Structures are given as structure tokens and as C-alpha cells.
Structure 1
Amino acid sequence: MEPIFRRSPLALAILGLLENGPLHPYGIQRLIKQWGKDQVVNVGQRTSLYRMIVRLEEAGLIAVGDTERDERYPERTTYQLTDRGRAASRAWLAEIVSTPRNEFPEFPAALSFIMLLTPEAAAGLFEERREQLTRRIDSLDADLASEYEGAPVPRVVLVETEYQKAITVAELHWIDGLLDDLRSGALSWEAALRPSQTTIDQAMA
């Protein structure tokens, strides 16, 4: 029975990078960082990358290639994309690009329990987040204006950065509106969310 492989951003990145030819794990990790893909792909520690490579090989999506030998480095095993891996990456791309998915990020989960803080404390934390969002937009703008060998980086290489900026700008505008409401008192919850005895009894039933 063939192993069932669950896709992930890291798996997609590995398959995508191997489109250009065989690579060893260090080369894959270096390209992920060099091409800025670490902004959208959580590589984590090198062991995470190696574990993912092993899983992809076991699933038949990549295969062991040659062994690189260089007196300056230990022997390095290269990996190459298989036909199955190429087909899988195309299928993943088609589904991910065409179909919105609830990915359960942490921030909305925290917002769902913001009433555990006072409105004043929440406002202070939102102000901190606003400052960090502003700095992130500046960083993304710098990435979008980057050059390679004296020429602008092709837009297609930066579309994920464009998306990140659009999402970050939208969040910044939303935070601004939320802060305005908190400061004016239009948004408050301390009195409204005091649980009644009936609510408590229902939860314990």
C-alpha cells in the first residue's frame, strides 16, 4: 500500500525547487532563504527539512540522485523530482490557488478570547501590533524594490510578497478602526460579558 502524503508549504517548496534540477538538502535550504521563500515557508530547524525530504522520498515524490563529492565538504546526497512528484505539485498548486481554506491561524483564535483582557489592556496590545505591522510593511516594500545583479527582480518571483503586503495593509487598517472604537468607547465588553448564573448553570449542565 502506497504511503499517503499530506501536503504542506515546505513539501511544496521542496518540489518546486527541484523543478530546476537535482539538489542536496543544504542547497534546498539555501535557496529557500536566498529566494525569500522563508517568509512564507516555515523551514524551522534543518532536521525538519531532512525529515520532510525523507517523507517525500518514501512517498515516491522525489528520488535519490547522485552523491556530490567535494574535498571541502562531506559527501552530499542529491535528490531529484519524480514524475509523481511533478504531478503532485501541480495538483497541490491548483487546489491551493483556487480554493480558499480556513487555516486556523493564532491571531483570530486570540481575538475570540480578547474579552479576557480589559479594553485598556487590549488597546495597548493592539497598538504594539500596529507598530510591528508598520515595520513589516516597510520591510515588504524593501523586498518588493529589491534587485538582482542590478536589475529589478521579476514580479512573478515576488507575488507572494505582494500578497503578504496586501494582507498586512488590510490588517493595519482594521487595527486602526478597532483602536478608534476602543478609545471612543464604541467597543467595550467588561459589563456586557459578565456571565449570569443561568449561563454558568447551562455550561455546567
Structure 2
Amino acid sequence: MTSTFRRSPLALAILSLLENGPMHPYGIQRLVKQWGKDKVVNVGQRASLYRMIERLDEAGLITASGTDRDERYPERTTYEITDAGRAATRQWLAEIVSTPRNEFPEFPAALSFLLMLTPQTTMNLLEERRERLATQLAEHEAELGGYPLPRIVMIEAEYGHAMTQAELTWVEGVLSALRDGSFTWDHEELARLAAAQG
């Protein structure tokens, strides 16, 4: 069963956190948020977290290890990682870290169809994106400077900062080319090109 389990950021996060010892789902969700991992792992929906825990349990990657009873809270099942779960975590990390993968994000897909818009509309939209990226960059910088955690705990935030900076630089270059007219297109010319190739 473990060999057919489809890895995901949420599954990887659960297994990695359980390496530190048994936890209940609420504790996992809280720790993900406390460590700022919710920027890269979606734990906003508790139902999704519980479904993933159930799937990991069925796959033999984790197992229920007990139940916590506290008068203030409903009964909570505690889970721990299995040997198969440890092996899967190491394998997933090795594959993800060593091998780039085309993950089909939305932005490049939208860029591939910019020809549907006019250069002016594209420029307006990219100017909005540039402002949002600049805001994100400032937030990343504040986050990186504000966490008293070791670098290894914040390495994904450092990567996010570098990627945002690179995207901002790229967007500014495209905007410059749109403004000076060195990057432009015409719908009629594109239609003629498509007809000629059809």
C-alpha cells in the first residue's frame, strides 16, 4: 500500500512532524502554523488534515498510538509514525529535493495565453502584480528577520523570498519592454500566423 501512496506537501508535513513524537491532529495543525509552514502547506481546512491522517493510517505510514482525554476538549486520537512512514518520508524528500518537476502552476499557464489580451491590458495587470510582489517581498523580509528560529527551520521562507525577488525582477523587465514598445503584438498578425500554420 505504501508504494502506491501519492505523496503531497500535507502528507510530508504530517510525517515529518510525527518524527518528533506522537501528536494528535490539532497539535499537528497548530505546530504547522506556529513554525510558519502554513505558507507552503495548506492546513487551513481541518477536514483535509483529518482525511490525510486517515489515508496515512490506512497506508500503514502512521498508526494510532493512544487517546488523550481532557475535560476541556473532546477525546483526541494521538498518532505516531511507523517505520514505513519514516522510509517514505526519506524517499519523498530525496526525490523532491533532487529532482525538479513541472508542477503546472497557474501563472506560467496564464502567460502562455497573454496573446488573448492587448499589450496595454497586459501592462496594467503586470503593474498590479508588481505591486503585490513588492508587498510580498517586504512581508518575506519581515518574516525572515522576525523569527528567532534556526535557518533550517525557515529555509522554505528563504526560498520563497528568492523566488519572489526573481519574479519581481522578471516582471519589471517585461514591463520595461512593454513600455518602450520592444515587446508588443497584434491580434490580426497573430490570426494570420495561426491561419498560415493551420
Q: Distance in 1 between matches of 2:193 and 2:184?
A: 21
Name stretches of at least 5 consecutive residues in structure 2 with no aligned partner: none
Q: Scaled by the length of structure 2, what TM-score is found?
A: 0.95
Could you give the per-residue CA deviations for residues 65-97 of structure 1, whole angstroms, max 9, x where no partner exists? 110000001100011000000010000001110
Structure 1 residues 82-91 or 189-198, which shifts more? 189-198
Higher share of residues assigned helix? 2
Q: CA deviation at 1:163?
A: 0.5
* Residues 108/157 of structure 1: CA separation in 2 closer, same or farther (3 Å cut): same
Q: How many residues align?
A: 198
Q: Distance in 1 between matches of 2:193 and 2:54?
A: 55
State the partner residue of 2:159.
163
Name stretches of at least 5 consecutive residues in structure 1 with no aligned partner: none
State the partner residue of 2:175.
179
State the partner residue of 2:88.
88
- After superposing on structure 2, the runs of 4+ consecutive aligned residues of structure 1 that deviate more than 6 Å are none
Per the alignment, in what secondary structure is the counterpart of residue 53 of structure 1? helix
Q: CA deviation at 1:104?
A: 0.5
Q: Distance in 2 between matches of 1:82 and 1:23?
A: 13
Per the alignment, in what secondary structure is the counterpart of residue 172 of structure 2? helix
Instruction: Give the one of 181, 185, 189 matched to 2:185.
Output: 189
Q: Distance in 2 between matches of 1:22 and 1:125?
A: 47
Q: CA deviation at 1:44?
A: 3.9
Could you give the per-residue CA deviations for residues 5-33 of structure 1, whole angstroms, max 9, x where no partner exists? 00000000000010111111111111111
Q: CA deviation at 1:42?
A: 1.8
Q: Scaled by the length of structure 1, what TM-score is found?
A: 0.92
Matches within 5 A, 1:1-205: 4-147=4-147, 152-191=148-187, 193-196=189-192, 199=195, 202=198
Q: CA deviation at 1:3?
A: 7.2
Amino acid at match of 2:195: T
- State the superposition RMSD in angstroms: 1.7
